[in-house]
Amino acid sequence: MLSEPAINIDAIAEEYGLAEHIAELDEIGLTIIPQSTLRLSDKWFNEIRDTILRVGETRTGITYDLARGPSDIPDGRPRVIGHVILSHMILEDQIFERVMTHPVKKALMTHMLGEGHRLAISDAWIKWQTPDSWEGDATTGFHTDQSIVPSPWNWQTPHIANMNWCLTDYTKEDGALAYVPGSHHEQRSPELGEALPQAVPAEAPAGSLIMFNGGLWHGSYRKTTPGLRVTMLGQHCRPYILPFQDFKGKIPEKMYSASLDPGYLRSLMREDETQLIQGPVNPKRQ
Ligand SMILES: [Fe+2]
């Protein structure tokens, strides 16, 4: 018997007024939840944003200024494309646990992936003005997050779903997420060049949460403005997929103790999984 806590989507949806967002996830494949619905303060978001910039500085040796951008450009892919991806952020600070266990996120992720879903990726993105040498209107090419699973898929039961916490304003000019509304109903990845002409920006002010179906066609627009776009994202997967970043056994106990929802956090990190594999004891093999 599984030990995941029962997640009452209906009760959370009622409390926070999520009916429209659940309908959008089904019809459009993406929804934007405003700060007022999340009932979170500016301080809550700013602390996450500032911690990401601090981690970025520690890992890359470069400072990141919201208005002016990076003090230098890291070598390799960031220099070519104009962003840096910081992985495994949940291991860095308790603050990143908060984005995992927020009740609205939990309800909408459960709507898409069912109970027992896992955290698959815990990344922060710091994006700056796209270099002139980068060609095209999109920086991140159009794709689906669940392309590792052969299509066709069932759009009602995606294998993967994602969340983007917007920590700076998301506009097309600021390099927002780009997506094709309703494309998850195609139940396949886009062909090369198929998605961009149909795409729209996911425009949202800082303090918003964007959630979307793993079958949604998406990428991101080039950033034509100075300063930074800062995002905390997190792919999640159903329990039959091994997370791309594995956190089992790596989260300190004190993080669970300090969490407002330790049961859900343990489930996200596969810490309830021993009960799936133990099975009945065979006395002959003792
Ligand atoms: Fe993606």
pLDDT (average), residues 91-116: 96
Given a contact cutoff of 8 angstroms between Cβ atoms, the answer to whether 56 and 62 are in contact is yes
When the pLDDT of each residue in the chain is averaged and rounded to a whole number, the result is: 93
Given a contact cutoff of 8 angstroms between Cβ atoms, the answer to whether 50 and 207 are in contact is no
Q: Give the distance (Å) from ligand 1 centre to CA of residue 266.
A: 25
Residue 163 DSSP symbol: E
Q: State the pLDDT at residue 137.
A: 80
Residue 54 DSSP symbol: H
Q: Give the distance (Å) from ligand 1 centre to CA of residue 122.
A: 13
pTM of the shown model? 0.92
Q: Give the distance (Å) from ligand 1 centre to CA of residue 159.
A: 13
Q: Give the distance (Å) from ligand 1 centre to CA of residue 216.
A: 9
Q: Give the distance (Å) from ligand 1 centre to CA of residue 285.
A: 46
Task: Give 282's pLDDT tier (boundaries 50, 70, 90).
Answer: low
Q: Give the distance (Å) from ligand 1 centre to CA of residue 20.
A: 23
Is it the case that residue 280 has pLDDT exceeding 60? Answer: no
The kind and range of the H/E element at 219 are strand 218-220
Q: Give the distance (Å) from ligand 1 centre to CA of residue 247.
A: 20
The kind and range of the H/E element at 271 are none
Is it the case that residue 180 has pLDDT exceeding 90? Answer: yes
Q: Give the distance (Å) from ligand 1 centre to CA of residue 278.
A: 34
Considering only CA atoms, which of 24, 14, 18, 46 is closest in space to residue 165? 46
Task: Give 286's pLDDT tier (boundaries 50, 70, 90).
Answer: very low
pLDDT digits (tens, 9 = 90+) for 9-23: 999 999 999 999 999
Is it the case that residue 74 has pLDDT exceeding 90? Answer: no
Q: Give the distance (Å) from ligand 1 centre to CA of residue 3.
A: 30
Find where tokens 């909408």 sit: 108
**Domains of the chain, each with CATH number or no CATH:** 34-270 (2.60.120.620)
Q: State the pLDDT at residue 241.
A: 95
Q: Give the distance (Å) from ligand 1 centre to CA of residue 167.
A: 18
Q: Give the distance (Å) from ligand 1 centre to CA of residue 224.
A: 21
Rounded CA separation 109/89 (Å): 19
Q: Give the distance (Å) from ligand 1 centre to CA of residue 206.
A: 20
Given a contact cutoff of 8 angstroms between Cβ atoms, the answer to whether 201 and 181 are in contact is no
Q: Give the distance (Å) from ligand 1 centre to CA of residue 154.
A: 18
Q: State the pLDDT at residue 275.
A: 55
pLDDT digits (tens, 9 = 90+) for 207-237: 999 999 999 999 999 999 999 999 999 999 9
pLDDT digits (tens, 9 = 90+) for 122-170: 999 999 999 998 888 887 899 999 999 999 999 999 999 999 999 999 9
The kind and range of the H/E element at 273 are none
Q: Give the distance (Å) from ligand 1 centre to CA of residue 55.
A: 22
Q: State the pLDDT at residue 22.
A: 98
